Structure 1
């Protein structure tokens, strides 16, 4: 396992502010920041705050954060980017009045899956994205506990990708998310441990 330094990544779109505190990176999102392409809403949003570094095949990325959310679509997790029309965001999002675990997979157009995790609000969460040659596997859970399977996404080994922490605030100003760690590690050995 390798701890990534916050300086190892480059922002897709700079946040309002970042500051380091006791090893954490506190990220303040721009109001209206988001990643989405077309489906159901008709718009394209390409204003996410994703701190990205190369994401080679046969590796995994983990981000630990506190889900300090309370407004519609506040979100944080992991972003995997191949290009402007092909990317994945996975993590925790405040949607329809509660904390949700989900993923958006975009290949031209976005899809979206959610599952309620109301007891995760204000708690430390780990989001893990693992690349194994034919797929990306997304897992998440309370930090220190078991990670649950969220999504399996087809993803060819030859794709040139980047990945890292994500923060967005689609509907408000002032969202500050504490990112506690960003790690690169070995990919998952099995889909079902």
Structure 2
């Protein structure tokens, strides 16, 4: 992994061995802006690098999600009030696939994950002011999770994230981290 990645809210316990990033979340970490709860939080862990222009970012995530709001996946951000996070989040007594788009206020879209949530893949493609978010149970087939507009900014950051609003101690591994030019596939191409 290239050394252009850096921590925002560095966890107390983490290691990078070859191309595997291992993290144990700190206590009561989270990302959220206002909606429903009223609070603002930006204390979760992000290991990211600066990006400009169009790109595709992809990663495999492994964790055992057991506690309300345990979460891990990817994050794309311009600043504390403008970001997208996506991955598995434990809620309603099960790990679910979901995303939160925050443009001043956070929204939350979630659904049933069709595989074993202890291992999954995430992919984000940025093309101008559009974000295409996909997930995979096997790293081969990539259903669409979200298509959204995100204000064009010259510089943003993309990387992996994890947090545990109700506890600490979620062990997460991130590997197969790739940042490439934007994949130029049709919207419903699942490869």
- Work out the CA distance in 2 between the residues paired with 1:154 and 1:23: 31
- 1:31 is aligned, of 27, 31, 39, to 27
Q: CA deviation at 1:145?
A: 2.7
Runs of 4+ residues deviating >3 angstroms: 20-23, 156-159
Q: CA deviation at 1:54?
A: 1.4
Q: CA deviation at 1:135?
A: 0.1
Paired position in structure 2 for 1:73: 69
Paired position in structure 2 for 1:43: 39
- Work out the CA distance in 2 between the residues paired with 1:79 and 1:144: 18
Could you report, residue by residue, the CA deviation over 1:64-112 in whole angstroms, capped at 9, with x for unpaired residues?
1113211111111111110111111011111111111111000110000
TM norm structure 2: 0.92
Consecutive unaligned residues in structure 1, runs of 5 or more: none
Could you report, residue by residue, the CA deviation over 1:137-168 in whole angstroms, capped at 9, with x for unpaired residues?
10001133301101111124444211001111
- 1:54 is aligned, of 50, 53, 56, to 50
Q: CA deviation at 1:16?
A: 2.1
Instruction: State the Cα RMSD in Å.
Output: 1.6
TM norm structure 1: 0.91
Consecutive unaligned residues in structure 2, runs of 5 or more: none
- 1:11, 1:50 within 8 Å by CA — same for their partners in 2? yes
Paired positions, count: 188
